[in-house]
Chain A
Amino acid sequence: MSSETLGRSPGVASPRGPAGAGSRKRPVVQRVFGKNPLGALLSTPYLIFLAVVFAYPLVFAFYMSLHDYFFSAPGAVVDRPFIGIDNYVAALTDPQVLQSFRNVGVFLIINVPLTVILAIVLATALNRVVHFRAFLRVSFYVPYVTASVAVVAVWLFMFSGNGLINNVIGPLAPDPSWLINPTLAMPTIALYVTWKQLGFFILLYLAALQNVPNELYESASTDGAGPIRSFFSVTVPGVRPATALVLMLATITGANLFTEPYLLTGGGGPNGASSSPVFVMYQEGLQQGKPGFAAAIGVVLVIIVLTIALLENRFAGGKEE
């Protein structure tokens, strides 16, 4: 608290007399909320929003996962007994759930490294381009800004059994085709998501590239390094904080997979080969009416994802300055 605030503390303000009660209030407000109480006031709607939409549901999800929770008529008083870790045991022994976790593992192993490599290469190439800059930027970002539901339609068209892709590669076409092939369904989804999200990660890398000091390229060049060499010894280490961020965000996005298995492979098909934990949460929690079971899957999923993200952050050295 600054000296100015102290100077206006109630004891000093009192000699001002008549204003009395009114002028004494302000310092109290300032003592509680800091120098500019208006800041707290302006942020109140946002803080309430965070409490209602994030904090409370987060606690609620955890509560649900530990109880025999079921849907009831609004306002009805029902007994939802505490059942400890039963939901977790049920979830982690359910073959359908375990398969969905394995599927998302396959997804992440393909999607995350591919995203990082392609994004960093394309961002570097795009960074110093002079001609067609606006055109290239727009074309790289367009899949990211478009609704997944819309682009899923064209991917279904291209990757269907009789589709363009199979017609182009002819005898190399997989049988059964991409999205109905148990081995290829998940990798195809991983490719789709990489393509769809890449623009956003290129954008993050472009922002990071602006912070790599030009002198580093100059000295690398003086030392006789060519563009390829300076890419690996200047660019890649220079955008390390961005790489940490991209790894984390790509992992979180990947673990949230729902729309693509729901639409591209008709609900995680064939035979659950492309189902995702979130898809199982939807099926079990809302369709089958077992929200406690679904919440337990959610808690396990988040713990796994955050652990992976922290490990990635550690190995990529995400500390900024």
Chain B
Amino acid sequence: MSAQRRVPGQLSRGQAILRGVVLGLGALVFLFPFYYMVIGSLQRFPDTSLGGIFPNPANITGANYVAINERINLFSGLINSGIFAGGVVLGTVLFGMVTGYALAVLKWRGRGATFALALLVQTIPFQLLMIPLYVMIARDYGLGDTHLGMILPYLINSTAVVIFRQYFLQIPKELFDAARIDGASELRVLWQVAIPLVRPALVTVILITFIGPWNEFLWPFLITKEASLQPLAVSLANYISTIAASTTNPFGAMLAGAVVLAAPVVLLFIYFQRFFVSTDIGSGVKG
């Protein structure tokens, strides 16, 4: 391949191979722990030797899943995680979408400041707010050990607000003007013109909003003491930190719980991965 004919950015053969090796190695390092999680969760006796990487029919069992389910109620954990994440998704879609619309399409006083706030709050470490939020929500409002107390600090995802705004900005202004000339009220414009057009954004927003609370540990850990109300991430963490040592195959049961916690998000993510678009999410953080 001569230098003149080379398309910019095109690699020589050696460089292309190098890039392939880098990417392949990267994929292996990222994926292997997940594979190993599944393998480990199916082992009757933990096999940490090199050979243990491969499934061994003589050592396969589903008993770990039964064992973890006896210690922590997987079903109620999943339900609680679902209510927590679902509540946050609902709040974000309801309130975040109309805020995004107001920020992108309508002209009102305070618009610039609200947008700046949406970006700013993403840089405030939650941990600074942890103690006062705990005092407010658990002690003053009496919302400890409730789903509402869990959801409240996450109710509207600011990244999602900014992504919604970005999508509404991309809709040609003429569409709104045409509807207004036809006599549609602003609310009608929002409901019948704008929202149907940002439907693809909904999937992206739901996806990124869902994984936050589903995976969250610290806040629900602080706010729920009652096991029957704990999301799966919290009850599994409690199992890892306290009960695991007293069981026969602690790693097997731990990994079985990890598979149950990870599977819904990983499957959702694989199914909807084409909506996980870099430019949208990038703009959600930096505006």
- CB within 8 Å of B: which residues of A? 32-40, 42-43, 45-47, 49-50, 52-54, 56-58, 60-61, 64, 71, 74, 121-122, 125-126, 128-129, 134-143, 145-158, 160, 162-164, 167-168, 195, 198-199, 203-204, 206-208, 210, 214, 217-218, 220-221, 224, 226-228, 230, 241-242, 245, 248-249, 252, 255-256, 258-259, 262-263, 266-267, 278, 281-282, 285-286, 291, 294-295, 298-299, 301-302, 305-306, 309, 320
Contacts and interface: CB of A to CB of B under 8 A. Distances in A.
Tell me what chain A mostly uses at the interface: helix, strand, loop, or mixed: helix
Contact of A168 (B37, B50, B270): B50
Contacts of A135: 27
A153 B257 contact: yes
| Chain B facing A: main interface SS | helix
Contact of A203 (B95, B103, B282): B282
B1 interface: no
29 contacts: A34-B111, A46-B99, A50-B117, A56-B136, A71-B139, A122-B22, A126-B23, A128-B9, A136-B27, A142-B34, A147-B233, A149-B233, A149-B240, A150-B37, A151-B37, A151-B262, A153-B37, A153-B236, A153-B240, A153-B257, A157-B251, A157-B255, A204-B281, A207-B282, A220-B8, A230-B8, A252-B123, A256-B126, A291-B135
A154 to B, nearest CB: 4
A164 B48 contact: yes
Given A146-B215, A147-B262, A291-B131, 17 more contacts: A40-B110, A42-B106, A43-B108, A53-B129, A61-B132, A139-B30, A145-B215, A148-B215, A150-B259, A155-B33, A156-B254, A164-B52, A203-B282, A248-B123, A281-B131, A302-B124, A320-B286
Interface in B14-48: 15, 19, 22-23, 26-27, 29-31, 33-34, 36-37, 40, 46, 48
Contact of B187 (A38, A158, A168, A226): A38
B101 A49 contact: no
The range of chain B's interface size is 35 or more
